[in-house]
Amino acid sequence: MLKTETPSTRHPDLDLYDTPDLVNAFVDDQFEAVKAVQAAAPRLAEAVERALPRIKAGGRLLYAGAGTSGRLGVLDSVELYPTFSWPRERAVAILAGGQSAMFVAVEGAEDDTAQGSADLAALQPTANDVVLALAASGGTPYVLGAIAAARAAGALTIGFANNPDAPVTAQAEIGITLDTGPEVISGSTRLKAGSAQKMALNTFSSALMVRLNKVYGNLMVDLKPTNAKLVRRALALTVRASGASEEAAKAVLAQCDHHVKVAVVALKNGVGVDEARAQLEAADGSIRRALKAA
């Protein structure tokens, strides 16, 4: 039996717990998710390093999964645009059962290997693409089909699973095992297995974006200010990163469509926004290098 399916020996009488103990059982078990991601950190670092040159060459992040794992892939893909201004067309997720499966479980869709292969192939993967294949069990046929199609196209494949020695991690070029063990509710991988996958995806994509110069210090200077909250955040980030007054930061942000990176370089280098953009482009989008080159 898969470890994720094995009944937990820690909580055999879960249904008899009073509410405080019941809540604590679920909360405490989440620490195992953190430990699993910590153990996988070296493989995550390898995945970032292997993915970086492909993404720099114009590749995409392609996510493939089913059920909770697939939905977590969708979540990671859609959050990259507002957080890092990552183009939506360069972070694409496929989900067993199609888009509607994001909201309503489509039972049986995950068992279709051919559909996983066809859905991934429909994205026309290239050798510069990076495919993130997600399956808590590690043996989901839909995901294995996606891996096969990705490898046939020469794309880099990174497999995430919550069971050791899983087909998903074995068949991908880089296998990342998040060994979370049995769940508090047997087999419910939306619990700590899902938490570990979310952490691992956040870690991978965020580290990749840092390496792509989307962050200055620890500030998210390439966000897309698509609402009032994010406009305020862009202003606060510009003030903090540049040391300029709020009034000066507002004026420059208004000239560059609230692009924090451009505003910071313009303010610190004392140049106009067009020159700031040119300096950033020459520095491969790195604020640090743009400031040193001035």
> Quick one: 64 and 194 in the same domain?
yes
Query: Residue 106: what pLDDT?
Result: 82
**Average pLDDT of span 113-132:** 98
> Quick one: 39 and 147 in the same domain?
yes
Place of tokens 């996510």: 63
Which of 110, 173, 275, 281 is the catalytic position?
A: 110
| pLDDT band with cut points at 50, 70 and 90 for residue 293 | confident
The total domain count for the chain is: 2
Q: Is the pLDDT of residue 67 over 80?
A: yes
- Mean pLDDT taken over the chain: 96
Q: Is the pLDDT of residue 152 over 80?
A: yes
CA distance 219 to 188: 36
> Quick one: 153 and 259 in the same domain?
no
Q: Is the pLDDT of residue 108 over 90?
A: no
The answer to whether position 72 is within a domain reads yes
> Quick one: 120 and 253 in the same domain?
no
> Quick one: 130 and 51 in the same domain?
yes
Q: How far is CA 135 from the centre of its chain?
A: 15
List strand residue ranges (DSSP E) for 44-98, in order: 61-65, 91-95
**Average pLDDT of span 209-233:** 96
> Quick one: 179 and 234 in the same domain?
no
Q: What's the pLDDT tens digit per position in 4-60?
A: 999 999 999 999 999 999 999 999 999 999 999 999 999 999 999 999 999 999 999
Query: Residue 64: what pLDDT?
Result: 98
Cβ proximity of 98 and 70 under 8 Å: no
* CATH at residue 204: 3.40.50.10490
**Average pLDDT of span 204-213:** 98
> Quick one: 123 and 182 in the same domain?
yes
The answer to whether position 289 is within a domain reads yes
DSSP 184: S
Catalytic site includes residue 107: no
Which of 79, 89, 173, 183 is the catalytic position?
A: 79
CA distance 215 to 191: 31
Q: State which residues form the domain around 278.
A: 228-293
**Average pLDDT of span 189-218:** 97
| pLDDT band with cut points at 50, 70 and 90 for residue 215 | very high
* CATH at residue 272: 1.10.8.1080
The answer to whether position 3 is within a domain reads no
Cβ proximity of 258 and 231 under 8 Å: yes
The identity of residue 179, as a single letter, is D
> Quick one: 21 and 150 in the same domain?
yes
Task: Show which of 183, 211, 239 is a domain's final residue.
Answer: 211
Q: Is the pLDDT of residue 259 over 90?
A: yes
> Quick one: 263 and 185 in the same domain?
no
The answer to whether position 1 is within a domain reads no
Query: Residue 107: what pLDDT?
Result: 77
The answer to whether position 219 is within a domain reads no
Query: Residue 1: what pLDDT?
Result: 80
Q: What's the pLDDT tens digit per position in 224-254?
A: 998 999 999 999 999 999 999 999 999 999 9
* Residue 135 host element (H or E): strand 130-135
Task: Show which of 157, 176, 211 is a domain's final residue.
Answer: 211
88-122 in b/e form (b: 16+ CB < 10 A) is eebbbbbbbbeeebeeeeeeebbebbebbbebbbe
The answer to whether position 6 is within a domain reads no
> Quick one: 275 and 142 in the same domain?
no
Query: Residue 141: what pLDDT?
Result: 97
Catalytic site includes residue 5: no
Helix axes 67-84, 192-211, angle to 10 degrees: 30
Structure tokens, 254: 């208004």
Residue count of the chain: 294
Longest dimension (CA), the chain: 68
> Quick one: 149 and 202 in the same domain?
yes
Q: Measuring CA to CA, which residue among 211, 205, 192 is closest to residue 37?
A: 192
> Quick one: 52 and 135 in the same domain?
yes
Structure tokens, 23: 């809540």
Cβ proximity of 285 and 212 under 8 Å: yes
Query: Residue 126: what pLDDT?
Result: 98
